[in-house]
A and B are shown apart, each in its own frame.
Chain A
Amino acid sequence: MPTVNVFKDVLFKALGREYSTEEFEELCFEYGIELEDETSEQEMVKKEQGEEKAKGKSNRGIYRIDVPANRYDLLCAEGLSRALKVYVGNAKPPVYKLVQPAGGKVQKITVLPETAQIRPHLVCAVLRGITFDQDTYDSFIELQDKLHNNICRKRTLVAIGTHDLDTLQGPFTYEALAPKDIKFVPLNQTKQMNAEELMTFYESDRKLSKFLHIIRDSPVYPVIYDSNRTVLSLPPIINSNHSKITLETKNVFIECTATDITKARVVLNTIVAMFSQYCAEPFAVEPVEIATPNSTSTHRTPDISSRAVEATVGYINKSIGIHITADEVVKYLAKMSLNATLSSSRKSVTVSVPITRSDILHACDVMEDVAIAYGFNKIAKTVPRSITVGAPFPLNKLADFVRRELALSGYTEVLPLILCSHDENYEWLRRTDNGEAVKLANPQTIEFQVVRTSLIQGVLKTISSNKAVALPIKVFEVSDVVFKDESRERKSRNQRNMCVVFASKTSAFETVHGILDRIMAMLNVKLVSPDAAQDGYFIRESDNPTYFPGRCAEVVHKGVSIGHLGIVHPEVLQKFEVPFPCTALEINIEPFL
């Protein structure tokens, strides 16, 4: 969830009164945002850089507010206070409109075909006669950062460039050129460099270095020029210093380059919706004409027309479980900044979704806004009508029977992790990798390399971290191991195993053998002779490298081997740092389902 900093005084002015912390927390809770912290610049600097650096910083009150990840319109103070202002009934939502420039000639930009190789999409807009002060200027920069980090997926999907239009001369071109051929002075630098040098230059930059990979290996880099071949930006890395925005900037040219056109439109719409507030004519946006390579005609951006979403009053009431009138639906939607009109039959509403609400995809989103405005906590509590019958998952029921019998037999349950290192699953158990284990592609540590194919390693690890416990240590686990399985859609399957380990001053094959007999007796599985073809189980001597030679047997059930028991091999104990003899049993319990 992104966090937005808003000055308390700005917010209270918008809301029309002061709020106590408790009151404001309550308002946030109902609206679906969260007051994270109450602080000031001074306090924030103090926390991050120490008391010394905080001296002289402003102690103007700031609310830090968590907003939902899909509400890009709440990512800045302007949008947040606007939404809350409407919610408390202090204002009506703004109406955005497109206006032509004074001379009637809109800015034009041509997209050249080469851009398709690297960053194909472009949308632009102009904000005229804007007045920035330090607060709004900071907020403008901050919003771009927030958008870059969230919807733009760290500039991979969309990158935003904002420029002082008065330093430039249209028409513009969006091109893709070899890095060596792009030369300009980057933002806040004094030296001109080509794009290749620029890449090296920003390698050590804490903020920008993480974006370089997006285009670095491409033979061509995206770049925007004006008619004098002045570079505007090298998206998604950096703007040029030439067209930099300042507090004095009056006319802003906004360009968003993208690999995802839907998101580019959302980003551009969010910026113009938020900051057209400060234009000479508030909420008026000037379009830009875009000529695309594969089309003879041009189109204009941004598209700020509202979208119609229809929802019937019956659907809204039935989904929420309330009974409100059509007029109330309209009233509640207005609280949520949504302008809705009733159909002539008064059975449905048509919401004209503003450009700020890209999160509304379906009538269910409208229904949710009605529910929020109505108040989640005022909805009458009901219960689903249908009668259903409870039932356990049979394998879990079996596993629980086995767990209980093991505990009744004096063993203690342990719960190690399912992921383990490759060594723990193979080498340490003296096994060779036969390719049956599921392997992870991107673990953060070597602790998690494979999904275990047996339980014993986790149980031995648990014993190893409990050496101080009085002997004998008698532990068990009943849980899943995973094997690759080509025959299945998910190419793998779980298997429910049971593992018992007895650790003491001497090995105890007979003791663990006794546990096997006990569990089999409880599962009503009979001990049978190895020669007889009977339904039952028996054990026979076997070789398994995890166990000591001559002290290992396999458990055979209905003629199929379901696991092993034996004295754990001293080399295995050494690897797991267990200083006393262990005797273990591990079998698959699924045949007993």
Chain B
Amino acid sequence: MSQESIQTDILARLDTHGSIDDTAILPYASDLILGVLNSLLSKEILTYTAIKGEKWVLTSEGQEVASGGSPEVALFNLIPSDAGLAVADAQEQMGEKAKVAMSNAMSKKWLKKQGDQLLRAVDSVTDQVQADLIKIKETGAFGDARVLQDYKRRKLCSAEKITSYSVQKGERFTTNVQKEATEITAEMLRTGEWKGQTFKKYNFNAAGVQVRGGHLHPLMKVREEFRQIFFELGFEEMPTNQFVESSFWNFDALFQPQQHPARDMHDTFFLKDPAVAGEMPKDYVERVKHVHSKGGYGSIGYGYDWKYSEAEKLILRTHTTAVSSYMLYKLAQEARANKEFRPVKYFSIDRVFRNETVDATHLAEFHQIEGVIADRGATLGDLIGILYNFFRKLGIEKLRFKPAYNPYTEPSLEIFSWHTGFKKWVEIGNSGMFRPEMLRPLGLPEDVSVIAWGLSLERPTMIKYSIDNIRELLGHKVDLEMVMTNPICRLDKKMGREI
């Protein structure tokens, strides 16, 4: 039945009778009637009040009895009028219904029991239950409430709440309802029809239509914020598109001794193919070897037997500082060629690799953010100053620095920030001044110092977007819905979902 024909029917009845006392008499489903009433109500064509009521309906078991009769009558009819029926036979023939049939028939004193035999106790029976249920089905009600409760207990019928309506004419009652438009169409504009058209009321509480556009990954949104901060501070992005590194650039060039635990098989991915690097800058390699094994530039060195075979091993870079060391080498080459040193500020945000056991906070891959400044006479105070500038742009004002150890920086400072949620200082990054044993072999002038800091991209992102498992952020197991629904990143603003 279409909405339109229901509407026509209702308006016709109102026109004829002035009102409809109870819509229960209409042969339409209650929800369809309501839809029509609401639509006409909004146009003030009618008003209505709801009538709450109850209707009894048969359960599927009740339906069976109504159509096929009650089990107790079926049982009675199974028993021959002149002989008994074994209980076991009754059970076999009636299946699971035998039990309820026996109990009902016995309580109605239709049967008696002799040993294991059931015998008729009366000559004939009438199926009152079936008759009652048929009546309930037809009228939705029954006179005797106790009987209804009994059938309800036997799960033959149940009460259902129903709503019907009493309907009156409204102020603008008419049987000729104009169709409301929801949208303005090009046709209306062309014909001028919009002038006489009535428009459907808009529900301003409903949600807008969901947008299915494209989306950038939250981690990349945070990366972009960090890049902007570096650009604002005058930093140049380093070419970090080289995942494979030699141990030399990744470790040796950074004055990291060859027996250092970070160079263990447990922490670093070594390569099987290709396994060793090609020719590295010979003079520089010599200088690095010397500073490790014998010292120089005012250092006593580590005093161990430095091996080329260890340095030439290829690995996946464990930090982007491998790129920084190469960039500083190139800077020193440039300074030598131009006979003039050029101060630089470099940064990078890119993937690094660690041969670690994967858990909620560790992946074999993550992104490292790194800032490097090489300048004549750069100081520890400059490092601390630039870190305040950098972190202020992230909305972090309170910093504290703890002395730490790192083979290639001296001094080394762990960066802590005050976490207002945890009410304690939390580590947010590492920083330091590169050691002379790293800088001088590169060929940088003696008065050039290099200050640097680093942090992971994932950690601030997880804090910003309230993600507690790194695997939900990076890798193929991420939920695309997460990518689609996470807001833009504003590092200097509270997003309201920070951990």
Residues of B within 8 A of A322 (CB): 381
The answer to whether A262 and B476 have CB atoms under 8 Å apart is: no
> Which of chain B's residues has its CB closest to A374's CB?
B380
The minimal Cβ–Cβ distance linking A452 to chain B, given in whole angstroms, is 10
The answer to whether A439 and B217 have CB atoms under 8 Å apart is: no
Interface status of A56 (Cβ within 8 A of chain B): no
The answer to whether A441 and B270 have CB atoms under 8 Å apart is: yes
Contact A361-B381, Cβ < 8 Å, known A441-B270, A465-B476, A489-B279: no
Set B213, B265, B375: member contacting A384, Cβ < 8 A:
B375
The answer to whether B476 and A32 have CB atoms under 8 Å apart is: no
Residues of B within 8 A of A462 (CB): 476, 478, 480
The answer to whether B271 and A384 have CB atoms under 8 Å apart is: no
The minimal Cβ–Cβ distance linking A231 to chain B, given in whole angstroms, is 29
**Interface code A377-389, partner B: CB below 8 Å = 1, 0 otherwise?**
1011111111111
The answer to whether A262 and B236 have CB atoms under 8 Å apart is: no
The minimal Cβ–Cβ distance linking B420 to chain A, given in whole angstroms, is 18
The answer to whether B265 and A465 have CB atoms under 8 Å apart is: no
Interface status of B243 (Cβ within 8 A of chain A): yes
Which A334-363 residues have C-beta < 8 A from chain B?
Answer: 359, 361-363
> Which of chain A's residues has its CB closest to B238's CB?
A393
**Interface code A163-183, partner B: CB below 8 Å = 1, 0 otherwise?**
000000000000000000000
Set B231, B299, B476: member contacting A361, Cβ < 8 A:
B299
The answer to whether A461 and B476 have CB atoms under 8 Å apart is: yes
A299 to B238, CA, bound (A): 52
Residues of B within 8 A of A227 (CB): none
A377 to B215, CA, bound (A): 42
Instruction: Choose, from B146-154, B159-167, B405-413, the stretch at the interface.
Output: B405-413
Residues of B within 8 A of A207 (CB): none
A395 to B348, CA, bound (A): 13
Set B246, B298, B301: member contacting A489, Cβ < 8 A:
B246
Interface status of A44 (Cβ within 8 A of chain B): no
Residues of A within 8 A of B279 (CB): 489
Residues of B within 8 A of A379 (CB): 380-381, 384
Contact A413-B405, Cβ < 8 Å, known A318-B379, A496-B241: no
The answer to whether A365 and B410 have CB atoms under 8 Å apart is: yes
Set A321, A411, A475, A491: member contacting B380, Cβ < 8 A:
A321
Interface status of B435 (Cβ within 8 A of chain A): yes
The minimal Cβ–Cβ distance linking B224 to chain A, given in whole angstroms, is 8
Instruction: Choose, from A94-102, A191-199, A443-451, A548-556, the stretch at the interface.
Output: A443-451
Which A412-427 residues have C-beta < 8 A from chain B?
Answer: 412-419
> Which of chain B's residues has its CB closest to A475's CB?
B480
The answer to whether B403 and A389 have CB atoms under 8 Å apart is: no
The minimal Cβ–Cβ distance linking B345 to chain A, given in whole angstroms, is 4
Residues of A within 8 A of B298 (CB): 362-363
The answer to whether B273 and A438 have CB atoms under 8 Å apart is: yes
Q: How many chain B residues have a CB neighbour from A under 8 Å?
A: 108
Contact A441-B232, Cβ < 8 Å, known A368-B403, A490-B244: no
Which A388-409 residues have C-beta < 8 A from chain B?
Answer: 388-393, 395-396, 400, 403-404, 406-409
Interface status of B496 (Cβ within 8 A of chain A): no
The answer to whether A403 and B216 have CB atoms under 8 Å apart is: yes
Interface status of B302 (Cβ within 8 A of chain A): yes
Set A262, A377, A409: member contacting B400, Cβ < 8 A:
A377
> Which of chain B's residues has its CB closest to A385's CB?
B375
The minimal Cβ–Cβ distance linking A425 to chain B, given in whole angstroms, is 13
The minimal Cβ–Cβ distance linking B266 to chain A, given in whole angstroms, is 8
A68 to B414, CA, bound (A): 12
> Which of chain B's residues has its CB closest to A396's CB?
B237
Set A31, A368, A416, A466: member contacting B475, Cβ < 8 A:
A416
Residues of B within 8 A of A359 (CB): 405
The answer to whether B272 and A441 have CB atoms under 8 Å apart is: yes
The answer to whether A319 and B433 have CB atoms under 8 Å apart is: yes
A389 to B237, CA, bound (A): 11
Interface status of A480 (Cβ within 8 A of chain B): yes
Residues of A within 8 A of B382 (CB): 321, 382-384
The answer to whether A32 and B479 have CB atoms under 8 Å apart is: no
The answer to whether A388 and B381 have CB atoms under 8 Å apart is: no
Interface status of A57 (Cβ within 8 A of chain B): no
The minimal Cβ–Cβ distance linking A20 to chain B, given in whole angstroms, is 15
The answer to whether A320 and B379 have CB atoms under 8 Å apart is: yes
The answer to whether B241 and A395 have CB atoms under 8 Å apart is: yes
Contact A362-B436, Cβ < 8 Å, known A392-B237, A443-B355, A466-B480: yes
The answer to whether B259 and A489 have CB atoms under 8 Å apart is: no
**Interface code B239-265, partner A: CB below 8 Å = 1, 0 otherwise?**
111111110000000000001010001
The answer to whether B271 and A469 have CB atoms under 8 Å apart is: no
Residues of B within 8 A of A488 (CB): 278
Set A307, A318, A364: member contacting B435, Cβ < 8 A:
A364
A34 to B414, CA, bound (A): 11
The answer to whether B343 and A388 have CB atoms under 8 Å apart is: yes
Residues of A within 8 A of B304 (CB): 260, 262-263
Residues of A within 8 A of B316 (CB): 419, 440, 451
Interface status of A70 (Cβ within 8 A of chain B): yes
Interface status of A50 (Cβ within 8 A of chain B): no
Contact A390-B483, Cβ < 8 Å, known A362-B436, A438-B271, A440-B316: no
The answer to whether B403 and A381 have CB atoms under 8 Å apart is: no
Interface status of A458 (Cβ within 8 A of chain B): yes
Interface status of A492 (Cβ within 8 A of chain B): yes
Interface status of A153 (Cβ within 8 A of chain B): yes
The answer to whether B235 and A451 have CB atoms under 8 Å apart is: no
The 4 closest A-B pairs by CB, nearest first: A321-B381, A32-B403, A321-B379, A68-B405
Sample of 19 A–B contacts (CB below 8 Å): A32-B404, A261-B303, A263-B304, A362-B437, A364-B433, A364-B436, A365-B410, A368-B412, A376-B380, A410-B212, A412-B483, A413-B215, A417-B364, A418-B351, A419-B353, A440-B270, A488-B278, A491-B276, A492-B244
Q: A381-B385, A414-B480, A415-B478 are in contact. List 17 more A-B contacts (CB 8 A).
A: A319-B380, A321-B381, A359-B405, A362-B297, A362-B410, A376-B413, A391-B231, A392-B237, A418-B351, A439-B273, A442-B265, A442-B355, A462-B478, A482-B244, A488-B278, A491-B278, A492-B243
